Amino acid sequence: MSDLSQGQSTAWRGAHLAAAVAAVLVLGLAVLAGAPTLIVAGLASAFIIAGGFYVAAERGPARYRATAAAPVPDALQLPDAAQAVLECLDDPLLLLDAAGRVIFANHAAVSIVGPDSDRKHISAVLRTPELLEAVDRTLNGAENETVSFTIPVPVQRHYEASLARSRTLLGAPVLIHIRDLTAMRRAEELRADFVANASHELRTPLAAVSGFIDTLRGHAKNDEKARELFLEIMSVEAGRMRRLIEDLLSLTRIELNEHNPPAGDVDVVAVVRDAVSALAPLAQADGISIAIEREEPLFAVGDRDELTQVFQNLVHNAIKYGREKGHVRVRFGQFDSFGKRDSGQVFVAVEDEGEGIPREAIPRLTERFYRVDVKRSRERGGTGLGLAIVKHILNRHQGRLEIESTLGTGSTFTVFLPAGVRSSLSLSPS
């Protein structure tokens, strides 16, 4: 190659390297400044084009022109610098080739498409008809569009995907930018549920309090005995309303965060001991003894505060509905990883000696405001939300609740949770 040709080749590579670097900087600034999705997508496409020109320039202008005129390659390669920039995005981002195969998925997209999506067709990693139809339309030349879709399992999540196609980049890839709308949708639903539930459940105690106030202002104004009685009832009803609102707010907060599983190990034996200590005065008032049948730690993956609420609710129910001067037992255990149904899980079982629960009522126990014995529940200060709170906390922890009961004998509420790292290390065949 002559000095002149070599100089032209060097100039060619230098010019396109500068273009690629400039595009990286512009894209990074656009992401940090919160630019709209389509602008970011356009800049990303421009960056990839510039990077592609630079890679082609390494082979010389003539060879690049020949490549540009050649058929679309079977597998596009995204430059490393482009991947590094796109990995900085907090939102899921996918890049598809002209055949609809995934050629890039950033770290945020792994939770949606899985860790092994590379070179797989989009229909193999995302089975949502709305998005797949939009991808087909975009690959067939449709304009950029936005679609909404839902992934129902393991916890229902709502997404919005913006699709943009580059007509100039080799292979005509499609850029898919996905926004997680789960928290927004849940907030809207929970606001409506809170208003509906609060208005329904607060109506009765508010009517009672209003009635007693009217009575005290009227013919019972000077009746000291009636006044003391009515004030006591009003205090009870006000306490019930306060507990109801607190439980509704707690349930709303838990449901709002249900799609984000916790991380970290928690010693469930220590959590149960704390819960039992807080409820000791209630147990002593009914003459009920509580036995915790484990001394050594047992670790589960979870949030300590939420698991404390789970076991407080279960032990409190065992005290409220157990036999007077009876016993409550709390058992612990874990499953090994040698063919057991619940491999790698720990369990906590709370047993009481109450009257038992009718078989037909058991599936409904975790429904909001469902009570087997409405009168007794209200007399003992129940809101009908305790087991609903337990269910949603366990959903967030990827656990579950099993209920067994025999009329006249008692009930057992068993919580299953993923084993923590320290408990998993101790699992052995049984």
Q: pLDDT tens-digit profile of 3-21?
A: 444 444 444 444 444 444 4
Asked if pLDDT for residue 347 goes beyond 60, the answer is yes
| Residues 6 or more apart whose Cβ sits within 8 Å of residue 73 | 170, 171
Reported as a pLDDT band with limits 50, 70 and 90, residue 351 is: very high
Residue type, 110: V
Q: What is the pLDDT of residue 169?
A: 56
Asked if pLDDT for residue 420 goes beyond 60, the answer is yes
**Tokens coding 375:** 């009168």
Q: Closest Cα partner for 181 from 214, 158, 211?
A: 158
Cβ 241 vs Cβ 197: under 8 Å: no
Residue type, 193: D
* 12-16, 115-119, 271-275: least confident range: 12-16
- Tens digit of pLDDT for each residue in 305-342? 999 999 999 999 999 888 888 899 999 998 765 445 44
Asked if pLDDT for residue 29 goes beyond 50, the answer is no
Rounded to 5 degrees, what are φ and ψ at 414?
A: -115, 125
Asked if pLDDT for residue 238 goes beyond 90, the answer is no
* Strands of the sheet with 102-105, listed across from one edge: 102-105, 93-96, 174-180, 157-165, 145-151
Instruction: Between 359 and 428, name the one with better pLDDT.
Output: 359
Considering the entire predicted model, what is its pTM? Answer: 0.55
**Tokens coding 10:** 């060097």
| Yes or no: domain 183-259 corresponds to CATH 1.10.287.130 | yes
Reported as a pLDDT band with limits 50, 70 and 90, residue 392 is: very high
Q: What is the pLDDT of residue 7?
A: 44
**How many other β-carbons are positioned within 10 Å of the β-carbon of residue 83?**
12
- Tens digit of pLDDT for each residue in 43-56? 444 444 444 444 44
Asked if pLDDT for residue 204 goes beyond 60, the answer is yes
DSSP reduced 3-state for 288? coil
- Tens digit of pLDDT for each residue in 180-190? 988 888 777 77
Nearest 5°: CA angle at 382, between 347 and 370? 75
Q: How far apart are CA 60 and CA 142, in angstroms?
A: 34
Instruction: Between 20 and 302, name the one with better pLDDT.
Output: 302
Instruction: Between 41 and 214, name the one with better pLDDT.
Output: 214
Q: Under CATH, which architecture does the 3-180 domain have? A: 2-Layer Sandwich (3.30)
Q: Residue for token digits 């003894």?
A: 289
Asked if pLDDT for residue 427 goes beyond 60, the answer is no
What percentage of the chain reaches a pLDDT higher than 90? Answer: 30
Instruction: Between 416 and 250, name the one with better pLDDT.
Output: 416
Dihedral sign, Cα of residue 157, residue 160, residue 166, residue 167: positive
Q: Where are the domains of the chain?
A: 3-180, 183-259, 261-430
- Tens digit of pLDDT for each residue in 46-90? 444 444 444 444 444 433 333 333 344 444 566 777 778 888 888
* The pairing of beta strand 265-267 with beta strand 299-301: antiparallel
Which residues pair with residue 370 across a beta bridge?
none
The CATH code that applies to domain 261-430 is 3.30.565.10
Consecutive H or E run containing 45: helix 37-57
- Share the mean pLDDT of the chain: 78
